[in-house]
A and B are shown apart, each in its own frame.
Chain A
Amino acid sequence: MTLKVDGIEFGYAAHSTIHDVSLAADRHDILAVMGPNGVGKSTLLKCLNRILEPRHGSITIDDADVRGIARSDVAKQIGYVPQRGVASHMTVFDLVLLGRLPYIGWDACDGDFELVGRVLEVMGLSHLSLRYADEISGGEFQMVQIARALAQQPRVLVLDEPTSDLDIRNQQHIMRTLAQIVRSTPMVVVMAVHDINLSLRYANKFVLMNEGTIYAGGGKEVITSESIRAVYGIEARIAEFDGTSLVIPQ
């Protein structure tokens, strides 16, 4: 399983929001997309599953072009969790079942219900399955959104700042669960994150964005004092603690 993004450009009229964006990831990878606010991280993520149609470039999953196929077929390949999802007055089970939408004809079948049951168990949400989504906590709802995306049986899971509104315990819980799932599933996770230290701990590939394009991409080695200065404009020191790199702003 390989995700390849090659020379993506998106924009309105003469102005381009992102340009010349290329990246690649293999199965079991967690790819963290980082950069300052407004640099085009969300735009890039939305281009991956064509919520926004890129003007140029290609996106391929195992050499099959995502841009040439129907929306519902894209949804079978790529699961997407937006930065701000709306918690509607539906039960958690029904919301996760919604992830089966790309697959169903007139109605859901037994296999769909079973799969949702399994996803809920894996995500530790079984006890919430009959609660209404607008009555659970923010952290729980974020887990529900990820569960819905997993119910799409995606090969690429795209998450737009999955931890930004959560407390430290929920941040850990979500990232740890994701890391555990990715390790056992032929899947790629692409996520936008602000917390560099959180991504250093859980991601294995990194992309730093600057001015609508990619400044640097690769393994842990791309997170350096120089790259932090170039992208964020701040001075920072990189330290090692318990085998994990830490970025400490000066």
Chain B
Amino acid sequence: MDAPIELDIYYSDGAERSSVVGRYHAHTRRKTVFLFTSGALLLLMLLISASIGAIGISPANVLRILLSGDLEGPGRIVWSVRMPRIVGAILVGAALSLSGTVMQSVLRNPLASPYTLGLSNAAAFGAAFAIVVLSAGRADSSSIAINSPYVVTISAFAFSLTAAAAVLLLAKLTRISATAMVLAGIAIGSMFAAGLTLMQYLADSVQLANIVSWTFGDLGRADLRAISMVTIAAVPSAVFLLHHRWEFNAMDAGDETAKGLGVNTERLRVAGMVAASLLSAISVAFFGIIAFIGLLGPHIARRVIGGDHRRLMYASPLLGAIILLASDTAARSVLAPMVLPVGILTSMLGGPLFIYLLLKRRMQ
């Protein structure tokens, strides 16, 4: 017979650090370095973005303005024109990316995102509904404008959450699998897409222009109100999700494993979806449809640091923020002085980039 193995897992004797643990910590430090590097990159991107525009301001000057709070001359441009847009990009990029990360984990589907689950389509329908039926949009003397942005935003938000609730309710009532939940999301999304088309058909030409311009995600709508509203919704959701990062890891190992580790998987799945939906619904309601950030951020982050939510939940929003800020900076400068809505750019570039990531993984 074999000799018994001494497994002293019942005694914590403060034994000296084993080499396995040492190597693990060294490995972990590399991932932490990646997080800090991403943070530094985001700050650098912020300086570059704030320096680019009709009036060039050097990054060094931007830094001085930001640190001193100077509101004169170029300071005014940086603080009141460029910073709201930049902060908006960082917030929305992080929110959509975190939301995608959670949806992909909870639904066990790498293609789950606010967009693929129909939340964006529902928000667009909600905005169109407000513009056409609640007549929240009309022609100004000189330009097309939405005269009650509140109504449009609230309606978009409400419909977006309705879509999320419908997916969840369907899952709850029929006990369908996580995979089927994604299909349900696609079905509900296409119903709202049809509704959006109907609204466009019923709209007059001004309303139609309003709907189309709302649908393009545009960070130009960032102002103090939008930023504070998104922050108010995003911070509690993010804290909740981060608090449960270990449980999300457990769910990734399979529901039975998670239950065996004491996780209430049904409750976490619903709570996670609610928090993720809130994050994306509030972003879409204020800024319109910005596709692919909810896929690109999480997927690049997973590729680099792995699927451990203890780090992924920081890395993914950081990367989402960097990508959206970089895209928006490009959208402002490629056809300057014309400013492209960033939603067009993320879709145009995000699609090919995503296919590239998939192919590269396949090659490996």
Q: A71-B263, A101-B246, A185-B10 are in contact. Are A89 and B302 (CB under 8 A)?
A: yes
Question: In the complex the two chains form, is A153's CB within 8 Å of B257's CB?
Answer: no
Supposing A49-B260, A181-B5 touch, asked if A84 and B24 sit within 8 A by C-beta, the answer is no
CB–CB A75/B7 < 8 A: no
B307 near A180: Cβ-Cβ < 8 Å: no
Q: When the two chains form their complex, are residues A176 and B2 in contact, meaning their CB atoms are under 8 A apart?
A: yes
Contacts of A39 in B (CB 8 A): none
**Bound CA span A89–B307, Å:** 5
CB of A242, distance to nearest CB on chain B (Å): 12
Point out the residues of chain B lying under 8 angstroms from A183, CB to CB: 4
Query: What distance in Å separates the Cβ of B21 from its nearest Cβ neighbour in chain A?
Result: 4
> Could you tell me if B262 and A71 are in contact, using CB atoms closer than 8 angstroms?
yes
| Least Cβ–Cβ distance between B98 and chain A, in angstroms | 18
A 130-186 contacts with B by CB, 8 A: 130, 132, 145, 148-153, 158, 176-177, 179-181, 183-186
With the chains together, A223 CA to B15 CA distance in Å? Answer: 44
C-alpha spacing A246/B307, complex, angstroms: 45
Q: Nearest A residue to B105 by beta-carbon distance?
A: A88
Q: Is A220 an interface residue (CB 8 A)?
A: no
C-alpha gap A180/B247 in the complex (Å): 31
Q: Which of A86, A129, A181, A185 contacts B257 (CB 8 A)?
A: A86
Contacts of B19 in A (CB 8 A): 126
Tell me whether B254 and A85 are in contact (CB under 8 A): yes
A90 touches B306 (CB 8 A): yes
Known contacts being A86-B257, A113-B24, A152-B261, is A185 close to B306, with CB within 8 Å? no
Docked complex Cα distance between A82 and B254 (Å) = 9
Q: Per-residue 0/1 for B278-289: is the Cβ within 8 Å of any A Cβ (1 yes, 0 no)?
A: 000000000000
Query: With A91-B308, A101-B263, A113-B25 in contact, is A180–B20 under 8 Å at CB?
Result: no
* Chain B interface SS verdict (over half): loop
Instruction: Judge if B23 is at the interface, Cβ distance under 8 Å.
Output: yes
Within 8 A of A (CB), among B138-174: none
A230 within 8 A of B: no
Contacts of B27 in A (CB 8 A): 91, 93, 130
Total contacts A-B at CB 8 Å:
150
B21 contact set on A, CB distance < 8 A: 113-114, 116-117
A219 contacts the other chain (Cβ, under 8 Å)? no
CB contact between A118 and one of B18, B256, B302, B306 (< 8 Å): that residue:
B18
Report B29 CB to chain A, min CB distance, Å. 12
Decide if B363 is an interface residue (CB 8 Å cutoff).
Answer: no
A3 within 8 A of B: no
Q: How large is the interface on B (under 10, 10 to 19, 20 to 34, 35 or more residues)?
A: 35 or more
Decide yes or no whether B64 CB sits under 8 A from chain A.
Answer: no
A88:B253 contact, CB within 8 angstroms: yes
Q: A86: which B residues are within 8 A, CB to CB?
A: 252-254, 257
Measured CA separation A85–B15 after assembly (Å): 32
Q: How far is the CA of A184 from the CA of B14 in the complex (A)?
A: 20
- Taking a contact as CB atoms under 8 Å apart, the answer to whether A184 and B249 are in contact is no
| B13-47 with Cβ < 8 A to chain A | 14-15, 17-21, 23-25, 27
Is the pair A119, B17 in contact by a Cβ cutoff of 8 Å? no
Whole-angstrom distance from the CB of B316 to the nearest CB of chain A?
A: 13
* Bound complex: CA A122 to CA B266 (Å): 34
Contacts of A153 in B (CB 8 A): 9-10
Known: A51-B256, A71-B264, A98-B261. Is A177-B5 also a contact (CB below 8 A)?
yes
Of B17, B254, B261, most A-chain CB atoms within 10 Å: B261
Contacts of B256 in A (CB 8 A): 46, 51, 80, 82, 85
Considering only CB atoms, which chain B residue lies closest to A72 in the complex? B262
Cβ distance B25 to chain A, nearest Cβ, rounded Å: 7
In the complex where A71-B262, A90-B306, A129-B24 touch, is A82 in contact with B7 (Cβ < 8 A)? Answer: no
Which chain A residues in 27-51 approach chain B with CB under 8 Å? 46, 49, 51
Would you give the shortest CB distance from B2 to chain A, in whole angstroms?
Answer: 5
A74 located at the interface, meaning its Cβ lies under 8 Å from any Cβ of chain B in the complex = yes
Q: Contacting B262 at CB < 8 Å: which of A95, A101, A158?
A: A101
Tell me whether A122 and B257 are in contact (CB under 8 A). Answer: no
The answer to whether A118 touches B307 (Cβ under 8 A) is no
Residues of B within 8 A of A82 (CB): 254, 256-257, 260
- For residue B355, CB closer than 8 A to chain A, the reply is no
**Residues of A close to B264: CB separation below 8 A:** 71
Instruction: List 7 A–B pairs whose Cβ atoms lie within 8 Å, in order of A's numbering.
Output: A46-B256, A85-B256, A94-B310, A119-B7, A121-B18, A121-B20, A158-B260
Tell me the B residues contacting A by CB distance below 8 Å.
2-10, 12, 14-15, 17-21, 23-25, 27, 243, 246-247, 249-250, 252-254, 256-257, 259-264, 302, 306-308, 310
Q: Give me 6 other A-B pairs in contact (C-beta within 8 A), A113-B25, A114-B14, A180-B4 excluded.
A: A71-B259, A80-B257, A85-B253, A101-B262, A122-B5, A181-B5
